[in-house]
Chains A and B, each alone.
Chain A
Amino acid sequence: MVRFKNRYFLVGFRFASQEESARALKILTHKSLVDLIRDAILSLHGQYGVSCVQKSLSVKYITLTLASPLSDVRGTTIAQVWAALTTITNIQQCPCTAQVLHLGGTIQSCQKFLIKYNTQKLRGMLRESDSLAERKRMGEKIKAVLQRDSVALNV
């Protein structure tokens, strides 16, 4: 039997500076992000691309730390959306680059990946930190985050 499948993109937006990131996150909404992605698809794939995607495109979450929206899109148009997402170069006149971090079949799989990804980033920052006090502080924060996230997702 034919099964109805969704695909969820985990996208990370990287800005030039923290101020621009904070400014963009303040004014970013679900609707504005959907319009941004739709404009990117319209530019790259035209009216045909937009019509393939319009019905099922939506933004589920925008996190505060990384601005990682998840888009719900049907399987047949994955390549079109992925290519369009990578062509996004600015959000509300703030220059940025969009990187597709993960493509999953459920929101939970994207969240699990995000936890692993952030943990790796934190461990990288821990390795690069200079002073002992800073290392200790970061180590405690990482432990607290891991405990909290493992409880939340039953990992």
Chain B
Amino acid sequence: MRVTMAFEKEPDFQLDSKQFKAIIVHSLQTLHGQVGAAVPVDILQCHSQSASTLTSIIRIPYHELVKVWSALTLLGTYNGFVCIIKVERASPSLLSLALSSRAFDFSRRTLSTS
């Protein structure tokens, strides 16, 4: 899944892959308890656009998709900071996360921003 996280105001902690993993586990524990927190989540790529926004590609088991997606979507605050997590794309293959045929402009044969 490719997900984007954004805080309303700049948080007082550094937003990196370790912190993002902690946020994901916190969201799973809040909504689905210890069973949810035991879901194996791997962060394959993490990129901070600014101190308050982050884009990441995460890997989860297929049968836990609904749990993880719902937990990420319903996270409204973390450590008192208002935030939002948006799942941009979910796919079983990494190649479809890298490229999307919907973003390809056939008339100009160029790739628009996806």
A positions within 8 Å CB-CB of B: 41-49
Contacts and interface: CB of A to CB of B under 8 A. Distances in A.
Interface stretch (B24-32, B46-54, B100-108): B24-32
Contacts of A46: 28-33, 35-36
Interface in B22-70: 28-36, 70
A45 B28 CA distance: 10
27 contacts: A41-B33, A42-B33, A43-B33, A43-B34, A44-B33, A44-B34, A44-B35, A45-B32, A45-B33, A45-B35, A45-B36, A46-B28, A46-B29, A46-B30, A46-B31, A46-B32, A46-B33, A46-B35, A46-B36, A47-B30, A47-B31, A48-B31, A48-B32, A48-B33, A48-B70, A49-B32, A49-B33
B36 to A, nearest CB: 6
Contacts of B34: 43-44
Nearest to A46: B33
Contacts of A48: 31-33, 70
Contacts of B29: 46
A45 B60 CA distance: 19
Contacts of A45: 32-33, 35-36
How many B residues are at the interface, by size bracket?
A: 10 to 19
Q: Which 5 A-B pairs have the closest CB atoms?
A: A46-B33, A46-B32, A45-B33, A44-B33, A46-B31
Chain B interface, >50% SS class: helix
Contacts of A41: 33
Contacts of B28: 46
A49 B34 CA distance: 11
A44 B30 CA distance: 10
Contacts of B31: 46-48
Contacts of A43: 33-34
Nearest to B70: A48
Identify the interface centre among A41, A42, A44: most chain B CB within 10 Å of its CB.
Answer: A44
Contacts of B35: 44-46
